[in-house]
Copies of this chain bind each other. A is one copy, B any other.
């Protein structure tokens, strides 16, 4: 049970993109977070494929959020980067072996799959209830009202 490490980077990027109106290049986001530029680019590509950010090419290109921060849930980001596959996959063990249940009796999922599926649904519901806007608001509460605008100004400034 492990989540891809890129999820953390992608979430941070989405939060800071809240404070920027113009497109921000991946390299600048990597400098801000002090992480590998090449690998962060990979995560942003995943966000782009999922339609959460819009990519702009050319000299003044970069990434911009496609929707309002309140319309992007944490679950959207997690699923874009880590994939939407459920953590548990039932291999139908009940049908195997000498006492295997006949397939015609296996109409619905087995009890174990039901329990794991319910837990997965609870996990997803918890993530779907929080949006990027909520995260930005929490950052403001934690670090003060000037924190996010300062990041936005730094992103817009020319590279040193």
Task: Name A residues whose Cβ lies closer than 8 Å to a Cβ of B.
Answer: 1-5, 7-9, 11-12, 15, 31-35, 74, 78, 82-83, 85, 87-91, 93-94, 96-101, 105, 108, 110-112, 114-116, 118-120, 122-123, 125-127, 130, 135, 138-139, 142-143, 147, 150-151, 154
Whether the Cβ atoms of A85 and B1 lie closer than 8 Å is yes
Closest to A79 in B: B1
**What are 27 A-B contacts with C-beta separation under 8 Å?**
A1-B1, A1-B2, A1-B83, A2-B87, A11-B112, A12-B94, A12-B112, A15-B112, A31-B97, A32-B98, A32-B99, A33-B97, A34-B96, A34-B97, A34-B100, A35-B93, A35-B96, A99-B150, A108-B142, A110-B142, A111-B142, A112-B135, A114-B138, A115-B135, A116-B127, A118-B126, A122-B123
Chain B contacts for A99, CB-based, 8 A: 32, 150-151, 154
Whether the Cβ atoms of A139 and B111 lie closer than 8 Å is yes
